């Protein structure tokens, strides 16, 4: 291609944005700056007009507290982009926010978006279209586990296997990669949200106490675990007693929460094991050196790394800043689009968006 000074200038000033469109959290990485936005993937809408009223952290605050005319939704829940218009509003808001942050007027950004593995063609198209109408100049889609591996610094372009387990809110994704390609992958709808649900159910059955989603998540983060702790802990839960109808606070222990979450945790462990079972032996040998990299907020559950290590006989380790791996990986892909071209999810014949 002939050198075009205009294009060169455009490239120099333009924004490159990596977005992790997670089921629980959206993270935005700007090349040269790092993570600039990290907000819950929540949108509050007017029930009648379906106009967005609040997006991100503000919308999450409203969850469980809305009046009759307001609805709070997570458009990417369970790894499925269910609400096109709402997803678009969310992308517009996040892309617009970054665009406004730059001091000089800049051309429309190039965007790489991490999307949940296993979304349908229609959904991919929807995200692509949403990003274009949200103001992106070029859009590339990358599957989240692949982006997570890139962001975690795994050598996925080399001729040896690496493995990533990304545990998010709605889905857990497992991928074994080699030579910029996926060798084995698994995706399941058991992840952080399900653990919260488990806690709600457990407390309801054992104590007749009804607690909210956020209370459950809070307890999980504070004292939840997947393996016995050196020192077990307790937390206070507040909710409504279902028998008396009155507010009540109780104390639960980390042992109880572990029991509450145990079958879901086991499902995640078994899925990782399944993926390993399917990997060719040369790759298994590689993984014995490198271990299994864990990413996503769910990987922060205490003792999950130990649990995996113990059950799989391969060392599992949590990536640095596991919640931002996907967005940072998308940023790395943007730095050298031709090099990572094979990783992008194709929408059309040319293999890009």
Residue 169 near which of Mg ion, ligand ADP, none (CB within 5-8 Å, type-dependent):
ligand ADP
Window 156 to 195, contacts with ligand ADP (CB under 6 A): 168-170, 192-193
Interaction between residue 229 and ligand ADP (CB under 6 A): no
Per CB under 5 A, the segment of 18-26, 129-137, 243-251, 278-286 that binds Mg ion is 18-26
What is the layout of strands, in order, in the sheet containing 25-30? 34-40, 25-30, 16-21, 110-115, 138-143
Segment interacting with Mg ion, rule: CB under 5 A, options 69-77, 280-288, 295-303, 335-343: 295-303
Q: Does residue number 298 form part of the binding site for ligand ADP (CB under 6 A)?
A: yes
Q: Which does 217 bind (CB under 5 to 8 A by kind): Mg ion, ligand ADP, none?
A: ligand ADP
The mark string for 1-40 relative to ligand ADP (x by CB under 6 A, - otherwise) is: ---------------------xxxx---------------
The edge-to-edge listing of strands for the beta sheet with 43-46 is 52-55, 43-46, 70-73
What region, left, alpha or beta, does residue 112 occupy, with left being phi > 0 and alpha being psi -120 to 50 degrees? Answer: beta
Alpha-carbon gap, residue 215 to 247, rounded angstroms = 14
Interface with ligand ADP, residue 56, by CB under 6 A: no
Which residue of 221, 229, 267, 312 would you call a contact of ligand ADP, by CB under 6 A? 221
Q: Using CB under 5 A, which of the segments 29-37, 76-84, 261-269, 289-297 binds Mg ion?
A: 289-297
- As a whole number of angstroms, the distance between CA 312 and CA 248 comes to 41
CA separation for the pair 121, 338 (Å, rounded): 23
Tokens of 187: 């995706």
Record the tokens describing residue 329, joined without a space.
Answer: 């990986």
**Angstrom distance (rounded) from CA 317 to CA 291:** 7
Give the one residue of 18, 109, 161, 296 binding ligand ADP; rule: CB under 6 A.
Answer: 296
Identify which range of 162-170, 178-186, 220-228, 276-284 contacts Mg ion by CB under 5 A.
162-170
Q: Which of 85, 84, 77, 29 is nearest to 52 (CA)?
A: 85
Closest CA to 301 of 332, 277, 265: 265
- Would you count residue 22 as binding Mg ion (CB under 5 A)? yes
Q: How far is the CB of 199 from ligand ADP (least distance, A)?
A: 11
Q: CA–CA separation, 223 vs 257, rounded Å?
A: 8
Radius of gyration of the chain (CA): 21
Evaluate whether 330 touches 20 at the Cβ level (below 8 Å). yes
Asked if residue 297 binds ligand ADP (CB under 6 A), the reply is yes
| Minimum gap (Å) between residue 96 Cβ and ligand ADP | 20
Among 80, 300, 314, 318, binds ligand ADP (CB under 6 A): 300
24 within 8 A of 41, measured Cβ to Cβ: yes
323 interacts with ligand ADP by CB under 6 A:
yes
Total binding residues for ligand ADP by CB under 6 A? 19
d(Cα 302, Cα 195) in Å, to the nearest integer? 13
- Which lies closer to Mg ion via its Cβ, residue 76 or residue 136? 76
| Footprint on this chain of Mg ion (rule: CB under 5 A) | 22, 168, 296
Question: Interface with ligand ADP by CB under 6 A: which residues?
Answer: 22-25, 168-170, 192-193, 217, 220-221, 224, 296-298, 300-301, 323
């Amino acid at each position: 291609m002939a050198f075009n000074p205009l294009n060169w200038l455009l490239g120099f000033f333009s924004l490159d944005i990596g977005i992790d469109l997670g089921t629980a959290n959206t993270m935005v990485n700007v090349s040269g700056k790092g993570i600039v936005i990290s907000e819950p993937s929540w949108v509050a809408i007017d029930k009648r007009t379906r106009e967005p009223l609040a997006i991100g952290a503000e919308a999450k605050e409203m969850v469980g507290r809305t009046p009759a005319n307001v609805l709070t939704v997570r458009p990417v829940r369970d790894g499925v982009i269910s609400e096109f218009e709402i997803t678009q509003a969310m992308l517009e808001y996040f892309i617009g926010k970054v665009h406004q942050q730059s001091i000089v007027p800049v051309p429309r950004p190039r965007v790489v978006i991490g999307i949940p593995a296993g979304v349908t063609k229609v959904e991919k198209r929807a995200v692509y279209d949403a990003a274009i109408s949200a103001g992106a100049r070029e859009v590339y889609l990358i599957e989240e586990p692949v982006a997570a591996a890139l962001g975690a610094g795994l050598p996925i372009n080399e001729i040896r296997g690496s493995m990533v387990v990304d545990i998010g809110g709605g889905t857990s994704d497992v991928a074994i990669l080699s030579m910029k390609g996926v060798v084995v992958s698994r995706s399941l709808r058991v992840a952080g949200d399900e653990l919260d649900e488990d806690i709600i159910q457990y407390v309801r059955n054992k104590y007749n106490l009804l607690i909210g989603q956020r209370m459950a998540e809070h307890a999980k983060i504070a004292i939840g675990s997947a393996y016995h702790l050196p020192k077990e802990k307790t937390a206070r839960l507040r909710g409504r007693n279902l028998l008396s109808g009155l507010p009540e606070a109780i104390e639960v222990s980390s042992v109880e929460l572990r029991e509450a979450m145990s079958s879901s945790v086991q499902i995640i462990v078994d899925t990782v094991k399944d993926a390993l079972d399917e990997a060719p032996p040369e790759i298994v040998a590689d993984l014995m050196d490198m271990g299994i990299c864990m990413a996503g907020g769910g990987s922060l559950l205490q003792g999950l790394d130990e649990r995996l290590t113990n059950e799989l006989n391969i060392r599992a380790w949590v990536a640095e800043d596991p919640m931002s791996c996907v967005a940072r990986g998308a940023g790395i892909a943007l730095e050298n689009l031709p090099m990572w071209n094979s990783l992008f999810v194709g929408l059309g014949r040319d293999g890009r968006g």
